[in-house]
Amino acid sequence: MALAIPPQSQDHQPGVEKVMRPLAVHIRPDYKGSGKLEGKKALITGGDSGIGRAAALHFAREGADVSILYLDEHEDAKETVRLIEAEGRKALAIAGDVASSSFCNDAVAETVKTLGGLDIIVNNAGVQYVSEDLTDITDDVWQRHMDVNINGYFYITRAALSYLKNGSAIISTSSINAFAGNKSLVAYSTTKAAEMGFTRALALQLADKGIRVNAVAPGPVWTPLQPASWGPVDPQAVAELGSDTPMGRCGEPAELGPAYVYLASADSSFVTGQTLHVNGGKIVNG
């Protein structure tokens, strides 16, 4: 079942799907929807590709209309829109930088206007720059991690909150690196841990409104982020992705999507402030 991934690299972030070898799988052809999100409206940042696209396609198959936000990967966004529409649902794609609060405000407003409401948000857009030595991290690189991975989650959630109601769900994509750390990803791990604090505190704040706030903490997953972050440093590291997990492989985005369906739907109605670890079997605290 392990993916055969040849060494490879993409030269800038965000990476793109179409040059990945092999291409990633975002939803199992035999995944059957059962109306778990019928009529819901969802917004997913970084929804053009990778884990965000997987969440988008699973939501659509479960009956939701979906708005995807992305930075500038127009081809990936177009394909995700096509795939959402092929599920018979409404799709919207909005390009821009989640590090800008005004972009986030506008994108949420456009989503609400086009889809006719908002029930689910998935904070998922992220950057990851590899550095073996803390002293090599420039102010700009450190700040970019904070701006996208933390501020972006805050701006989108703040803009969306007045539209959410009893039964709504907020889901954040964190990472195993928030729990286990990663010696080559200090800035990134810092932001992923901050997202956990955000999730837990906001869950407490919103519990009595019936708005649930949870996180998914993926292990290594085959997405454009991998060749675009590890590739420029060491293309061989891309080929070895996931070999250190108990299952000895990385995951496909299709193996993440159902976790988002669970946290977005009434199936998890008694679950808030929690984290789902979808990581190939690594035992982590929390």
Decide: is 223 part of the binding site for ligand NAD (CB under 6 A): yes
Query: Distance (Å, rounded) from C-alpha 93 to C-alpha 98?
Result: 14
Distances (CA, A) of 70 to 32, 62, 78, 201, 215: 27, 22, 11, 26, 20
Query: Distance (Å, rounded) from C-alpha 282 to C-alpha 285?
Result: 10
Residue window 10-49: x/- pattern of binding to Mg ion, with contact defined by CB under 5 A = ----x---------------------------------xx
Decide: is 51 part of the binding site for ligand NAD (CB under 6 A): yes
Q: How far is CA 168 from the centre of its chain?
A: 18
Decide: is 49 part of the binding site for ligand NAD (CB under 6 A): yes
Decide: is 199 part of the binding site for ligand NAD (CB under 6 A): no
- The number of residues that bind Mg ion (CB under 5 A) is 5
Per-residue b or e along 239-252, where b marks 16 or more CB atoms closer than 10 Å to that residue's CB: bebbeebeeebbbb
Q: Which is nearer to ligand NAD, 17 or 119 (CB)?
A: 17
- Which of residues 98, 196, 254, 264 is near ligand NAD by CB under 6 A? 98
Q: How far is the CB of 62 from Mg ion (least distance, A)?
A: 22
Q: What angle do CA 260, 191, 221 make, to 5 degrees?
A: 45
For the chain, state the CA radius of gyration: 17
Candidates 224, 229, 149, 135; CA nearest to 190 is 149
- Which of residues 62, 65, 73, 79 is near ligand NAD by CB under 6 A? 73
Cis peptide leading into 253, omega within 30 of 0?
A: no
Three-state DSSP at 112 gives helix
- Span from 1-9, 72-80, 156-164, 245-253 in contact with Mg ion (CB under 5 A): 72-80
Distances (CA, A) of 78 to 41, 69, 169: 19, 11, 26
280 contact choice in ligand NAD, Mg ion, none (CB below 5 to 8 Å, kind-dependent): none
188 is catalytic: yes
Residue window 147-176: x/- pattern of binding to ligand NAD, with contact defined by CB under 6 A = -x------------------------x-x-
173 contact choice in ligand NAD, Mg ion, none (CB below 5 to 8 Å, kind-dependent): ligand NAD
Among 70, 155, 188, 260, the active-site one is 188
- The number of residues that bind ligand NAD (CB under 6 A) is 31
148 contact choice in Mg ion, ligand NAD, none (CB below 5 to 8 Å, kind-dependent): ligand NAD
Contacts for 44 with CB less than 8 Å, ≥ 6 apart: 52, 55, 56, 59, 66, 67, 68, 69, 121, 122, 124
Query: Distance (Å, rounded) from C-alpha 259 to C-alpha 212?
Result: 15
Q: Which is nearer to Mg ion, 76 or 147 (CB)?
A: 76
Catalog residues that contact Mg ion under the rule CB under 5 A: 14, 48-49, 73, 76
Catalog residues that contact ligand NAD under the rule CB under 6 A: 14-15, 45-46, 48-52, 69-71, 73, 97-99, 124-128, 148, 173, 175, 218, 220-221, 223-226
User: Could you list the active site residues?
Assistant: 188
